[in-house]
Chain A
Amino acid sequence: EVHLVESGGDLVQPGRSLRLSCTASGFIFDDYAMHWVRQVPGKGLEWVSGIGWKSNSIGYADSVKGRFTISRDNAKNSLFLQMNSLRLEDTAMYYCAKAPRAESYYFDYWGQGTLVTVSS
């Protein structure tokens, strides 16, 4: 069974940094692209970033480009999101999501999310 567990969400001040992690199990992590999707409480979904199976294909939403960095450690079945220069509007639930193929940009499984709150 596919299992994705996010961690690292916290209350942080504007301008500070935070690193999110996602630990995967139940599938061969190396074989699949992975993504981060966020959701402001009570609002819609926003794709944030995606990374291919070999980390050679990476994309970012315009809203986070230059501030966020996605990475993965296939040896540890882990996905990361380094978030720098955080803004109030980055407050959201952040979901880790698995793609169905090595370079896919849609998601067949999701974690339960980790909450990031940016506030002074």
Chain B
Amino acid sequence: SYELTQSPSVSVSPGQTARINCSGDMLPKKYAYWYQQKSGQAPVLVIYEDTKRPSGTPERFSGSSSGTMATLTISGAQVEDEADYYCYSIDNSGDRRGVFGSGTKVTVL
């Protein structure tokens, strides 16, 4: 079955760049999406279709994808960016289904 793999945690100081990776065999053919979930809150879409930012997502958030790896980059991370980040993609190999990565805890301190 299709899986997305993320490292458990990333830690940066304010103003530094945080990079969150997501690997999956289908990523060369399927878009990656990124969700931010702050403690006690519902997730929020921050990047869709690999690189696109919804209105409301700060410009310091960017997405990229190359081969089997998608990356969410937070350039100049702020304290308020501390959250769990989940990559997501769609598996069409059988019945269509959504697949989340295991999540990456980003700490900014």
Contacts and interface: CB of A to CB of B under 8 A. Distances in A.
B90 A106 contact: yes
B58 interface: no
Given A59-B97, A106-B48, A44 B42 contact: no
Interface string A55-79: 0010111100000000000000000
A46 interface: yes
B98 A47 contact: yes
A64 B35 CA distance: 23
Contact of B97 (A57, A61, A100, A110): A61
Contacts of B100: 44-47
Interface of A: 35, 37, 44-47, 50, 57, 59-62, 95, 100, 105-108, 110-113
